[in-house]
Structure 1
């Protein structure tokens, strides 16, 4: 990867649907070398795929929550079971096993506090391996200039639409 590759990558991150011709003009190369560089980045796994960024607030999902979870015990089977369960929650946009006072941190998108209450009481608190949950609510994303906040995986969108189909 050289400086031009990084410039091409930056342009694709800004708008992956822009024509290669437009990218070529921005990096001062002709069409063919830019197209070849993009193909090489795809082949080498630098570009894994192209995706859509969804502005969830426009779909009425306005409450972003970071949940820190402490497990009752540190056993491999509990971590595996939690991971399996969490992957089924469409509201969970991202999740990590972490070191420190808590074992897991989840990034969760919900409509409002009532939705949060339902998620806590009817869904996540049913997971018996969880000992404690601490939630922090996002006021504003300070790094995302477009304030889009999230990249959805297909499971997120499917579950969110199914749970909230009455709104569509």
Structure 2
């Protein structure tokens, strides 16, 4: 990956709907050359997907919480990870160091959504203990931070 690939990724991170010709103007390449680079970046996994940066409040998912989870000793960790990947409320899930096993970022429409989420983790046998922190407001949130070049 060279400097042009990095610039393409940064431009797409700003607006994934940019046209190939617009990107090409910024990196001094033809649209077909940009398309080829994007194809390679997708194939290599450097770009995972193209997505939308939605307004969570407008979608009725304006409650943001962070849930620290310690897995039950008998829990099937692979089943837990599969559950995390398939749950609509989960924005992020990180395996972490320290006293907790995972840090989960969830978005729900009501506080009862947090209770429901925790009850489901308990019912599935995943949860030994948890701690939940509710965000009062979000100062900044970015889906991608481009590397310094």
So what's the TM-score if we normalise by structure 2? Answer: 0.77
1:115 to 1:19, Cα distance in 2 relative to 1, 3 A? same
5+ residue gaps, structure 1, are 150-168
How many residue pairs get aligned? The number is: 143
Structure 1 partner of 2:76? 78
Structure 1 partner of 2:135? 138
Equivalent residue for 2:99, pick from 78, 101, 113: 101
So what's the TM-score if we normalise by structure 1? Answer: 0.70
Deviation digits for residues 50-81 of structure 1, max 9, x if unmatched? 222322221110111111111232x5x53234
5+ residue gaps, structure 2, are 144-149
> After the TM superposition, which residues 84-123 of structure 1 pair with which residues of structure 2 at under 5 Å, given as runs?
84-121=82-119, 123=120
The structure carrying a bigger helix percent of its residues is 1
Give the CA RMSD over aligned residues.
2.5
- Distance in 2 (alpha carbons) for counterparts of 1:42 and 1:85: 26
- Distance in 2 (alpha carbons) for counterparts of 1:105 and 1:44: 28
